[in-house]
C-alpha cells in the first residue's frame, strides 16, 4: 500500500554490472515503481594507493531514467543508463584517471518532474525553486 520513491540511489559494491542492470530493470524500474535510479558502482579495490596515500579505486555512476529511456525508444525491462560518469582515481585498466577532480566536472541531473511524479501541482511549486535550470543536481567530486 505505500507509494514507491520516485528517485532511488543505490550503492553496489559486490554486484556485477550485469546484475546491476538486471536489478534496475526488473525491480526499480518495473512498471509503476521508480522514475529515476542512480546506481553508484564501487569496483573491486586492490589496496593500491598513489604517492600521496590516496586510494586508487574505480568508481562509476550510472543514471537510469524511465521517461528518457522510453522516449529514446528503449523497451521496458531493457533500459540502459542515460548517463554514465567515471569519478574514481583509476580507469578499468588500473591507469590513474583524473576526470572528476573539481566541482562541476561530474554532475548527474534529475528532472524535477521525475521527482514529483504523481504529486499534485501545488505540492511542487515551492520546492523546485532550489533547482538550477529546471534540473536537480547531484555533484560527484572529492
- Number of domains comprising the chain: 1
Higher pLDDT, residue 114 or 71: 71
In a domain, 70, yes or no: yes
pLDDT of residue 129: 40
Range of the domain at 32: 7-101
In a domain, 110, yes or no: no
In a domain, 122, yes or no: no
For residue 110, give Cα distances in angstroms to 19, 107, 118, 127.
Answer: 24, 10, 16, 14
What is the end-to-end Cα distance of the chain in Å, rounded?
A: 39
Name the residue among 82, 80, 86, 115 with its Cα closest to residue 98: 86
The pLDDT tens digits of the residues spanning 11-35 come to 999 999 999 999 999 999 998 888 9
Q: For residue 142, name the pLDDT band (cuts at 50, 70, 90).
A: very low
Q: pTM for this one?
A: 0.78
The pLDDT tens digits of the residues spanning 80-130 come to 999 998 888 888 888 887 767 667 777 887 877 777 666 666 554 444 444
In a domain, 140, yes or no: no
In a domain, 129, yes or no: no
In a domain, 37, yes or no: yes
Q: For residue 136, name the pLDDT band (cuts at 50, 70, 90).
A: low
In a domain, 88, yes or no: yes
pLDDT of residue 76: 92
Amino acid at each position: 500500500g505505500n507509494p514507491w520513491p520516485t528517485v532511488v540511489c543505490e550503492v553496489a559494491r559486490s554486484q556485477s554490472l550485469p546484475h546491476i542492470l538486471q536489478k534496475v530493470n526488473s525491480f526499480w524500474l518495473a512498471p509503476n515503481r521508480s522514475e529515476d535510479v542512480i546506481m553508484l558502482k564501487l569496483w573491486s579495490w586492490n589496496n593500491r594507493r598513489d604517492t600521496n596515500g590516496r586510494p586508487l579505486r574505480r568508481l562509476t555512476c550510472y543514471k537510469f531514467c524511465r521517461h528518457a529511456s522510453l522516449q529514446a525508444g528503449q523497451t521496458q525491462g531493457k533500459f540502459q543508463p542515460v548517463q554514465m560518469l567515471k569519478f574514481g582515481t583509476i580507469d578499468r585498466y588500473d591507469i590513474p584517471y583524473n576526470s572528476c577532480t573539481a566541482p562541476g566536472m561530474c554532475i548527474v541531473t534529475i528532472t524535477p518532474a521525475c521527482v514529483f511524479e504523481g504529486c499534485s501541482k501545488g505540492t511542487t511549486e515551492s520546492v523546485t525553486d532550489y533547482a538550477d535550470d529546471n534540473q536537480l543536481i547531484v555533484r560527484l567530486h572529492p
